[in-house]
A and B are shown apart, each in its own frame.
Chain A
C-alpha cells in the first residue's frame, strides 16, 4: 500500500562553523551559513525510503523564513515530491512552531508525520508531543526503525534503559533518532533538478509569540591551557607528569 508522508524540516545556522565573540562570549550568528538541521535529514531519509519501498508521496514542510528555500531544495534532491515553506519564523518558540506547522498539516491528507526527535541546535524536543496533541494523532517517539503494514505503523523506540517496540494505527506522528539511518548525499544531477522544482510559499497567520526575555546567551567560559604538542615525543614526558600529578 502507498503512503502519504509529511516530513518536517528545520533550517539552522551551521553550528559547527559558529564562533563566539572572544570578549563577551556571545555567539556570532551573522554570516554563519544556514543548513538543514541534522535530525530533519534523518526524517527526510526515512520518508523517502518508505516511498521507495511502498510508493506514495513525500511532502516536506518547513516553518522558516524567505531564506529557507535552500533546505527545501536539499529535501527535493533527496527525493521529496512537494514542499511548503511557511514563513514567519522568528525564533525558537516551540508552541508557535507547533501551531504554525499543525495548521498546514491539517490541510494535507497524510498517513504519517515524520520529524526529528530533538533539534540539533535548540535541543528542544517538544515538537513531537505538541504536534501529537494538536493533531490528535498518536506519537511513536525516538524511532530507530519504522515498519508499516496496511494501516498499522510500528517502530522501535530507543529509550534510555530499553528498546521498546510500539505500534499504532495511522495517521500517526513518528519522531526519529539519529541512529535510524544515514541520510543520503544526492547526486549532482538530482541537486540540479531540485533547483528547478517549485516551492510553495505561504505566510503563517495568527502567530502568538510568548513573552520570553533573554537574560544572557554566552559560551560557557573555557579557561583551557591549550598546550598542544605536535611532536608526540616531546608531549609524552609533560603529559605523563600531568597525569601523575592528577591521579595522585
Chain B
C-alpha cells in the first residue's frame, strides 16, 4: 500500500504515520519536516510557501496523479478539511470525514466516525480514497526508520495572507491529564475562575472547559476546550461544573473513567452522562467538597 499523509498539525500527522508505517509506504507532507522525520515515514516532503488549502490541494493532486496511491489521509484541522473537500472534487473521488478508526480490506475502507453531532458512532464501508482523520487515530511513537526531506514548493495562491495573530495557548496537554475540572457557562464570568482554581488544586486537576468558555468568551485558552471540535480527554476523573452536557461536549469526555457533574438544573442532560451528580450551585458545592477533602 502507498499512502499520502498530510497535516498542518504535527501531532495528528505523527499519529497517522505511526498508524500506517508498518503496513504501507507513507509519503508525509508537512510544514514541519524536521519534527515529522522521526516518525518513520518512507518519504518526507517539507512544504515551502504559504500553507493555504488551495495550493496544498494542488500539490497533493499532482503527487496523487503521479500514480499508485491507495489513500490520501489528511489530519482534521480547518485547513485539512478544506484540502480534503477540494481534493474530493478535483479528483472526483469520495472522501470520508472525521474518522477515528480506519482500516482496509480489498480496496474498501472501513471507517468509524461520530454522527448526529456525536450522538452515535457510525461505521461504514466505502470506496473513499480520501480520509479526514480526527486526532487520536493511534499513539504517535518514534521509529528508527530514516528518510530524507524533499522540498515541496507551493504555488502562489489567489488568496493573500494579510496578517496573522497567534492565539494565546498554554503548555497544558489536557489529553494526558488524570483529573480534569471542567467549567461551563455556569461559571458566570472569568473572575470566578479564581473560585474554581483552589478546588482544582485540591483534587490535583487540570482546568478545562466547554466551547463557549474557551472560544466565545475566551475565559480559558482554546487548547483547554473539550468536545467534538475540541480535545478528546480520558482522565480517571472528570468533574463537570456548570456544563449543560450537550452532545458535542459529551463527545469529548465520554471516555473518562468516573464522571461527576454539578449543575443547578436537575434536568440538565449532563446528569445522564455522569456517575455522580449534585444538583446545586457549583461554587457552594465545590467549596464544601474542598472542606471535606481537607478534613
Q: How far is the CA of A13 from the CA of B117 in the complex (A)?
A: 11
Of the listed stretches B33-41, B139-147, B154-162, chain A binds B154-162
B280 at interface by CB-CB < 8 Å? yes
Q: How far is the CA of A178 from the CA of B293 in the complex (A)?
A: 40
CB-defined contacts of B166 to chain A, threshold 8 Å: 161-162
Contact A129–B86 (Cβ < 8 Å): yes
In the complex with contacts A161-B169, A240-B289, A126-B273 CB distance below 8 A: no
Contact B162–A154 (Cβ < 8 Å): yes
CB-defined contacts of A133 to chain B, threshold 8 Å: 57, 85-90
- Contact mask A221-248 → B, CB, 8 Å, 1/0? 0101111111110011111101110110
In the complex with contacts A162-B166, A167-B162, A216-B123 CB distance below 8 A: yes
Contact B285–A232 (Cβ < 8 Å): yes
A52 at interface by CB-CB < 8 Å? no
CB-defined contacts of B87 to chain A, threshold 8 Å: 129, 133
- Total interface residues in chain B, CB < 8 Å: 90
CB-defined contacts of B98 to chain A, threshold 8 Å: 123-125
A215 at interface by CB-CB < 8 Å? yes
Contact B79–A159 (Cβ < 8 Å): yes
In the complex with contacts A220-B254, A230-B279, A239-B278, A165-B164 CB distance below 8 A: yes
Q: Which residue of A lies closest to B256 (CB)?
A: A224
Q: How far is the CA of A27 from the CA of B117 in the complex (A)?
A: 12
Contact B167–A163 (Cβ < 8 Å): yes
20 residue pairs bridging A and B, Cβ less than 8 Å apart: A16-B246, A16-B247, A98-B85, A120-B248, A129-B81, A129-B89, A130-B89, A133-B85, A138-B159, A161-B166, A162-B164, A167-B162, A211-B127, A217-B120, A218-B120, A219-B121, A225-B275, A230-B279, A232-B285, A246-B237
| Inter-chain pairs besides A130-B88, A228-B274, A237-B292, 20 sampled, C-beta below 8 Å | A95-B88, A125-B98, A133-B86, A133-B88, A159-B77, A164-B164, A165-B165, A166-B160, A213-B125, A214-B124, A217-B120, A220-B254, A230-B266, A232-B279, A232-B288, A238-B276, A240-B292, A243-B203, A243-B260, A246-B179
* 9 A-B pairs closest in CB distance: A129-B85, A133-B89, A232-B280, A228-B277, A125-B81, A126-B85, A129-B86, A235-B278, A240-B292
